[in-house]
Structure 1
Amino acid sequence: GAQTVVDEFISSALQKWGERSSVVLLLPHGYEGQGPDHSSARIERYLQLCAENNMTVAQPSSPASYFHLLRWHIANPTRRPMIVFTPKSMLRLRAAASQLSDFTSGTFRPVIGDDKVANATRLIFCSGKIYHDLVAEREKLGEHSTAIVRVELLYPLPIDQMREEAAKHPNATLLWVQDEPANQGPWSHIALRTSEAHGGRAIDSRIFRLVSRRSTASPATGSHHLHEEEMKALLQEAFTR
């Protein structure tokens, strides 16, 4: 099926045959309680294919970010495929809406910092829809010591910009928070790319701590009730770890 096309052509055509492509794949991805077959587009598998700047992988958190991502992709003189992950629920999520001015000005930002919190004691890096869940939980708790940074671009990973955000909060604990299980989602990619022991580039002397669902064979539970319980526990851990 599609996996063969991705493996044989989209991810490696340039290295194998010198063929360039700027094709864009928009894949539905989001943990919304709809079961294992409607939750994951397998971010981890696409990220495993990433090397030698062969393609772009992104997970925008707002309509404006998606809009500027497409403009940035087309304007990029280096043509390469792009994989974009986004959930269906953000189509109707009021908190994810963008102002008209967000479309008419600005550019794509691979990393979006948090200007609401200074000198945080907890710095959360995340990607995609879970950002809005984390912000809602922070507001519910009345929490003022946690900064939340969005990583819109997963590959090439914008390490320098992540470092800049971490430097703003030198005393903060660094967390990577994702709604996917620990053995899935972006985590293994983030851990590898930020590990000097594995040829990556560390953010600084601090290391990321992971907050996620536990490792599972299935992408998601088939029970909506269990999904809600998992999400509640994940958000609680993100603000107490």
Structure 2
Amino acid sequence: RQYRKPLIVISPKGLLKSPAAISSLDEMAPGNQFKPVLDDPVATEAPSEVEKVVFVSGKLYYDLVKERASKGLDDRIALVRIEEMSPFPRNELEQVIDQYNYARDFVWCQEEPENAGAYAFMAPRIAQLIPRNEKLQYVGRSALATPATGISSVYRAEQAQLIQDALTV
């Protein structure tokens, strides 16, 4: 881009010092640039084995990576991070989706309720890119009038359920 704009970072404290969320100085050196879509570094080793592609944004990615590894599903589920939603990264997403030509399930996963978060914006755009008329599935909390239930035990149960749903092959 030929214009300047401010960087706005919104991040939960839980990832502040997490080694999984740290970038090296080399990744920020000249010659590198911001990537609106981050493909799964594990799944790209054998993209023909991937059965499910999960699109995710934010800290939920780290929860999914941890659970996927514990279930031994690294080669069957690709976790694709979308770091920029607007302008929509069509070309970058097309490149990522094209390499998973054997995948049968495509999922948008988010922590927010269905009527909040990025799902309503991203779903119709991603659906246009999915091959063979597959449908984009939604995994997350059902629509709510409030952004959260406010009860930690309910939150944890919902979080565990959506992670399980996202990683079911």
* Structure 1 length-normalised TM: 0.61
User: Is it true that 1:192 corresponds to 2:117 in the alignment?
Assistant: no
Identity %: 34
Shift of 1:171: 2.0
Q: Could you tell me how far apart the structure 2 residues matched to 1:218 and 1:239 are?
A: 26
User: Is it true that 1:171 corresponds to 2:102 in the alignment?
Assistant: yes
User: Is it true that 1:104 corresponds to 2:15 in the alignment?
Assistant: no
> What is residue 137 of structure 1 aligned with on the other side?
67
User: Is it true that 1:181 corresponds to 2:113 in the alignment?
Assistant: yes
Unaligned runs of 5+ in 2: none
Amino acid at match of 1:115: P
Shift of 1:83: 5.7
Q: Could you tell me how far apart the structure 1 residues matched to 2:130 and 2:10 are?
A: 25
Amino acid at match of 1:140: S
In 1, are the aligned partners of 2:108 and 2:123 still within 8 Å (CA)?
Answer: no
CA RMSD of aligned residues (A): 2.0
Q: Could you tell me how far apart the structure 2 residues matched to 1:180 and 1:208 are?
A: 17
User: Is it true that 1:88 corresponds to 2:20 in the alignment?
Assistant: no
1:81–1:107 CA distance, 2 compared to 1 (3 A): closer
Count of aligned residue pairs for this structure pair: 161
* Structure 2 length-normalised TM: 0.85
> What is residue 162 of structure 1 aligned with on the other side?
93
1:159–1:206 CA distance, 2 compared to 1 (3 A): farther
Specify the structure having the higher radius of gyration (Cα). 1
Deviations 1:74-94, CA, capped at 9 Å, x for gaps: xx3345677654323221323
- The counterpart of 1:147, out of the listed 66, 71, 78, is 78
Q: Secondary structure at the match of 2:85?
A: strand
- The counterpart of 1:226, out of the listed 154, 159, 169, is 154
